[in-house]
Amino acid sequence: MPYTLFVFIAIAVAFRLAALAISIRNEKRMLQSDAIEHHAATSLILTIAHIGFYVAAIAEGLWRDSPISAISVVGLILYGLAMCALVWVICTLGRFWTIKVIIAKDHQLISNRIFDRIRHPNYYLNIIPELIGFTLALQAFGVLLFGLPLYVAVLSLRIRQEEKVMRSHFHKYGSVGRSLGAS
C-alpha cells in the first residue's frame, strides 16, 4: 500500500477520534443536566459497525496492496467532502451533536435549508459518503460490496428509532427542522 494511503488512514482515524471526543463531551454535559438517552443498544451496535467497517477496509486495502489509482483519488475526494459535511453538522448542532440519541431538557429542533430538506444530513451527507469514500480510497471493494449493506441495515434501524424519538419530543417535527443532534 502506498505511503500516501497510510497517511490517509492515520488522518481518517484521527478525525473520527476527534469527532468522538466532541460527542463524549456533549453527551456528558447533556446527561449531567438530566437528558435522556434513547436506544443505547443501537448506538453501541452502530459504533461497533463503524469501527468494524474501518478495520475491514484497512485490512482489505493492505491485503490488496493496490497502487493509488483514479478510483483512490475519487475515494479521497468523496471522503474529504464527507468530512466537510461532518464538520458542518457538528458546528450547526453545537452542544446537541452526539453519536447517540440523547434528548436534553432544553433541546431545540434545528431548522435551516439543509436540515429542512434532508432528514438526517449527518447520515446522508457524512456517514454514507464517508464509508464509500474510505473503501474506494483503499480499493476495499469487498467491504464496499458486503460491509456497506450491513452497515446501512443498522443505520436504517437507527434512523427509524430517531424519527420516532423526534416525533414524540418535538411537536413541530415534520414542518421545521429535521435533527435533534444525533449523528
- Domains of the chain in start order, with CATH, are 3-169 (1.20.120.1630)
- Round to whole Å and give the CA distance between 114 and 21: 25
Q: Is the pTM of this model over 0.85?
A: yes
Mean pLDDT of 109-126: 86
Distances in Å between the alpha carbon of 169 and those of 29, 62, 115?
20, 46, 17
The pLDDT mean for the chain works out to 91
- List of residues 6+ apart from 9 with CB closer than 8 A: 58, 61, 138
Instruction: Kindly tell me if the per-residue pLDDT of 150 is higher than 60.
Output: yes
Residue 175 has pLDDT above 70, yes or no: no
Which residue spans within 83-131 are E strands per DSSP? 101-103
CA distance 50 to 146: 14
C-alpha–C-alpha distance, residues 156 and 149, integer Å: 10
Q: In angstroms, rounded to a whole number, what is the distance separating the alpha carbons of residues 113 and 106?
A: 22
